[in-house]
Structure 1
Amino acid sequence: MIFRQLFEPDTATYSYLLGCEFSQKAVLIDPVAGDVEHYIALLNELELTLIYTMETHVHADHITGAGLLRDKLGSKGVVHRDAGAMCADLLVTDGVQLQLGEIEILVRHTPGHTSGCVSYVAGDRVFTGDSLFIDGCGRTDFQQGDAGMLYDSITQKLFTLPPDTLVYPGHDYNGKTVSTIKQEIATNARLGGGKTREEFIEIMTNLSLPYPRYIDEALPANQACGQPDKQESVRQG
């Protein structure tokens, strides 16, 4: 498998390129609008054809590049059916499997940060978006967030993966790039080390996090696949 972990520093967002060496087909997980030209250059360099852009959820901290990439390259946008982005080409549910040449990508619904969060399992790795971070997790105080639901998602859908599964998160603010399921079960500050559901809910309730910096711009844009102007023109047309 061809694999690249890509980083957008302003919002500390990780995007991921996965490519099949045999079919030359590729997907981008959580692409950022401002990096679209970089993605296109990388795809050309690797001689890959972009088939899917796959969102782990409707983001509140950056604008997705899914719509721009669909316009430029003909790729199809993928989100969970509960994410609130009906502009996507594929609305997936838990257990759906996407085939990319010889790469199989399994959708696991992991709500709690938002109601439409998913994680993508591909071989020996899982892309957890904002559900599970390295030594942390996404906040649960907006976008239909629910701390108890997130605890259930992580413990039942992610911590049940093989211990050596590589964890690739949607963000990291401390320069970390990858973890493992075993490591997060043991040491995750918010729900590792055997923390109970009640302990986790109390931790999340008392975080007192600031209002997301880009949410007022990013959320409506991402509900329109990153192209709110186009969505509005379609409504008026």
Structure 2
Amino acid sequence: MTKLSVNINKIATLRNSRGGQVPNVLKVASDIEAFGAQGITIHPRPDERHIRYQDARDLKNIVTTEFNIEGNPIPKFIDLVLETMPTQVTLVPDAIDAVTSNAGWDTVSNKDFLKDVIATFKQNGIRTSIFVDPDLKMIEGAALTGTDRIELYTESYADSYAAGNLEGVKSFTEAAKLAHHLELGINAGHDLSLDNIEYFKNNIPHLEEVSIGHALICESLYLGLENVVNMYLNKLK
């Protein structure tokens, strides 16, 4: 079975919009694990507009499944990862002002940089993954960095699927086959949803883990809305 790691950034966004601790990020993470998810993902950014660096420290003592921290390996991020020692660190080439992740690494031109950062994490027993597009040259480059896994950046698949183009998965299938041949583990994430996840899973060999946040939280709000409205109505009778 492919593991599900739930990205809880949107929970932190909601909390931060009001101040205080509602919803409580730590309780939500524990509940998500209790509901059966096999991992918790966070993606702290330098401006801490959703997940805060302190959240990462606090979650380290709460998460009992796999703890995955994503981010651009700037010095502050590297220090945080080494302090919290998650199960996995996923390296993402985000610009500081990026709204969300929008590209994989150029693993060829950034090989030496990635190699050094990955070596540091692996020396400390932290599994490494790097965010990549389904480009065979980039997959080959990833293998030369020493990373344990790649995370396939799936926005283009999601867009193709939504447009009714099932052929959009083919580049991801080929990328996964090559990655497995090169002895890389395979993760995936970005815009995966209840609509498109099953088709993706069925067409990606050796898929070990998916990280899903925005869609899962939005779907949870909608699919739970009728239940909560009726709970209020029952209280007000």
TM interval, short-chain normalised = 0.3 to 0.5
Hey, which of these two has a bigger chunk of strand by percent?
1
**TM-score of the aligned structures, taking structure 1 as reference length:** 0.32
**TM-score of the aligned structures, taking structure 2 as reference length:** 0.32
Hey, which of these two has a bigger chunk of helix by percent?
2
**Whose radius of gyration is greater, 1 or 2?**
2
